[in-house]
Structure 1
């Protein structure tokens, strides 16, 4: 169950908003693109056609160390249920994938995918446009029972009717404690004089804004346009003064590893892998709080194997299965009950993962984790233009 450092090679999933093209369409909620509830379901062939197609990101599922063609948890599902899963690692960027399947969805056509995994901020667009189907929780008793309470009520999908977290994570601050010579506890610590030119922020609007607002004491579940513009003004000042070295995707990992950067916005899953090679790297959830995010499973409109997909989702919420997956991917596990499963593992390294707060946040950390309100359709184009102008995209 021990991973072979998948995060070191995984492309950024909380990706940069590089262009306004596809995003503008989804963000503006073009009336013709909206699909009414009665037009979302297709003929479900699950009872007679025992298969499904699942689109996911690269290196985002457990793989057998001896045979990379085998995925132990998925193989076990197929053997148990007789359902054949075509697992396609085709998602490398949220906006790119949006552009790939949006023509079919807006034109009321099948995508030929029964299950997809995308970041929650992009899930919000799909839910808003009516492009995904409500799940039948009567078929998902494990999701109902074991889904982390912190993840149950995102603003874009109250009650998680249309989405179920695949894996979760935290956007916080990573820093090299030995090189810096002190602790970082607050977002404002990034702006200390001894960090001038040695700080990076995430370049994607959806990735960066929440933590910076939290540094200003903002409740990110109900942030306002004024809160956003205040952050932009602050960041712009830090750019002009030379304090911010640059804006990054997941390439902050290299800067932090080499020492070119001493502190940066970072994702919890990446830092677990960095710490394996460099114990001087620390990850902090600031005193003001940090953003808890997910990449979530959704069933697109007109999917032909909805029941099979719902069954697969529920399988991954069995604590034993969730534990096996968590031990490989090293992100925040959306099934807290998996912690006890890992703790009882005979392998010491595997059992130690149960005590890692970046996989199973402890009570003190959980109190500071919040799911941000998503950027609305009316806000997106204006805010993206403003942010991208500062970042240089």
Structure 2
């Protein structure tokens, strides 16, 4: 399993940055950098050039404990198919990576990559701009069969025609049950007096807003600007009263572990690792619900090995392969059928993962999970300015 949470690395904040500048140019109507469907594909060299280039985040694939350069599931794919994979861990931040490859995409040039993994809120921009190709689901039977129904129809990509989740997760609440001395069941429980100055929220707009709206009773699949402003009004009042200790990146992990903070907006994958060292840390999906998110695989425009990339994606949707990946990265597995594979393992540690609701949410938890409607390009500039001003970014 990973020694360090991948989300502890730098993440895009969804602020103005490169994407905000593009959004400001976009306005209403067809974006100036939009690529028409007919112009997205190029000659596919997959049949005669059996390779592909796969760009991912660090610590986001299984690694051999004895030989750190070996990636067992990826190595098995190469042996199985004869396709050579150039695997790079070059994505450390959504906005930074966007800035790295956007000049090529907006100028209708190849990025040199056949497969990339980015957060769904950023995937929404790629799909909206026409910078990714539609996948051939007929050539991906395992995706068609095994993709979690909860992840099949995000607002930005109905039917997942352009994207496939690599891993998923939940933004909920982590807290120290022993030190707090009570349960947290609702988002509003964070605002009680005994947590004044001992609670943190995530600083990134895209990472934060959905859970906070859900705490207000909002259906995040169809939230409105009024919902957003009501939420920020509440948070602004809590900030002014000193109730919220601060807004954080992944340093909330250290704060929770040390006891300086008793409750925090948190990612499910981080908490699994925290609990291994501190069993008093609990993770809760509030009664009002929590956000289910994914980081997804995309095939950029003019990728030279599209068919090879589609084969790799489908390979990772084989339940036995998804199980191996889930056992290492410890995020919510987008292939529910992998649960039975892990449950039947003779290794007790692997078998126990099948019962972990933060990897395979149970039915009660699943009913409270939702994928948020993405922030549109028109909304982003205004909302990011309001949020970042409050957070201090």
TM-score class, shorter: over 0.9
SS, match of residue 354 in structure 2 = helix
Partner of 1:232: 232
- After superposition, what is the alpha-carbon deviation per residue over 1:273-326, rounded to whole angstroms, capped at 9, x for unaligned? 000000000000000000000000000000000000000000000000000000
SS in 2 for 1:355: coil
* Aligned-residue offset at 1:52: 0.3
- What's the counterpart of residue 361 of structure 1? 361
Question: Please, what TM-score do these two structures have when normalized by structure 2?
Answer: 0.97
Tell me which residue corresponds to 1:5: 3
1:15, 1:249 within 8 Å by CA — same for their partners in 2? no
Shift of 1:28: 5.0
**Aligned equivalents of 1:26 and 1:320: distance in 2?**
41
Query: Which residue is equivalent to 2:79?
Result: 79
Q: Give the structure 2 partner of residue 198 of structure 1.
A: 198
Measured in 2, the distance between the counterparts of 1:14 and 1:285 equals 23
Q: Offset of 1:5 from its aligned partner?
A: 3.2
Moved over 2 A (4+): 9-15, 17-24, 26-32
Contact 1:27 1:125 in 2 (8 A): no
Tell me, in whole angstroms, the C-alpha distance in 2 between the residues paired with 1:350 and 1:231. Answer: 40
Whether 1:316 and 2:320 are equivalent positions in the alignment is no
CA contact (8 A) 2:23 2:381 kept: no
Distance 2:222 2:117 in 1: 26
Please tell me whether the aligned partners of residues 27 and 376 of structure 1 are also in contact (alpha carbons under 8 angstroms): no
Aligned-pair CA distance for 1:6: 3.7
C-alpha separation between the residues in 2 aligned to 1:28 and 1:380? 12
CA apart distance, 1:22: 3.2
Deviation digits for residues 333-368 of structure 1 (CA, Å, limit 9, x no counterpart) = 000000000000110011000000000000000000
Report the RMSD for the aligned CA atoms in angstroms: 1.1
Counterpart-to-counterpart distance in 2, 1:28 and 1:253: 37
Could you say which residue in structure 1 is the equivalent of 2:293?
293
* Deviation for aligned residue 1:377: 1.2
1:158 maps to what in 2? Answer: 158
Q: 1:392 to 1:105 in 2, by over 3 A?
A: same
Three-state SS of the structure 2 residue aligned to 1:382 is: helix
Distance 1:159 1:24 in 2: 29
Partners of 1:198 and 1:5 lie apart in 2 by: 27
Alignment coverage as a number of residue pairs: 390
Alignment of 1:79-118 (within 5 A): 79-118=79-118
Instruction: Give, in whole Å, the separation in 2 of the partners of 1:296 and 1:353.
Output: 22
Distance 1:201 1:224, change over 3 A: same
Q: Which residue of 1 aligns with 2:343?
A: 343
Q: Distance in 2 between matches of 1:192 and 1:63?
A: 43
SS for the counterpart of 1:222 is coil
Q: Secondary structure at the match of 1:32?
A: coil
For the residue of structure 2 that corresponds to 1:33, the secondary structure is coil
Which runs of 5 or more structure 2 residues have no equivalent in the other structure? none
